[in-house]
Amino acid sequence: MVKPITQRDSVQLPTTDRKSQWWFIVLRLVVVIGGGYVASSALVAGLARVLPWLGLVRIDGVVLASMLGFVIYLAVLILGFARQRLLRTAVDLLVIAGLGLMLAALTGA
């Protein structure tokens, strides 16, 4: 059941359809690089609030969350460019950003 989907996912980077058109590449760059940064930032903010709540000293939480931010952003970039379907990437980024904001709000000041 899963196989057809993965096969469609694994098509070589297409050269003829809209995915190779310049505006789609630009859109992908903006969504993955820009959107990825915003989503990672939101998650960093959420973690910075949650970690002290889990027992870390405030400053330690901020430093640890920010350091993890680079790893999170790296993973987002790699997966964002690996994914063929841009829409799914965008949805995932919204989920990450939402998670970050939710964590921040739950433990908010």
Partner 1 sequence: MEQGFRASMGWLHTWAGVVVGAMLFAIFWMGTLAVFDREIDRWMAPMTRIALPDRPRSFDELRATYDTAVALRSPTWTVLQATERQPYIRVAYRDKTGVVNRSFDPATGAVLPEPGTWAGSRFLYPYHYGLHLKIWNIGEWIVGFAGMAMLVLCVSGVVIHRKIFVDFFTLRARQKSQRAVLDLHTVSGVLGLPFNIAITLSGLIIFFAVYFPSGWQAVYPDKQAFNADGGSAYARPKANKPGSLGSLDAMAGEARRLWDGVEPRAILVRHPGDAAGFVTVFQSIEERIVRHAASITFDAATGAVLHRSDALRPVAVAQRFLTGLHRIQFRHWTLRFMYFALGLLGCALIMTGFLFWLEKRRKRHAAEGLHGVRLVHGLVVGATAGIVMATAGFMVINRLLPLGVTLAGYERHELEIWTFHLVWIAAFAHAWMRPRMAWVEQCRAIAALALAAMVLNGLTTGDHPLRSLAHAHLWPVAGVDVALLLLAAAAWAASRWLAASRRRSAAAVAALKEAGSHA
44 binds partner 1 (CB under 8 A): yes
If binding means CB under 8 A, how many residues of this protein chain bind partner 1? 40
90 binds partner 1 (CB under 8 A): no
102 binds partner 1 (CB under 8 A): no
26 binds partner 1 (CB under 8 A): no
Q: Smallest Cα–Cα separation from 52: which of 44, 60, 42? A: 60
81 binds partner 1 (CB under 8 A): yes
42 binds partner 1 (CB under 8 A): yes
The nearer residue to partner 1, 53 or 95, going by C-beta atoms, is: 53
**Which of residues 30, 78, 91, 106 is near partner 1 by CB under 8 A?**
78
Task: Give whole-number Cα distances, 1 to 5, 6, 7, 87, 99, in Å.
Answer: 8, 10, 11, 22, 30
CB of 38 to partner 1, least distance (A): 9
CB of 37 to partner 1, least distance (A): 9
- Alpha-carbon span 11 to 4, nearest angstrom: 11
Q: Smallest Cα–Cα separation from 41: which of 74, 66, 71? A: 66
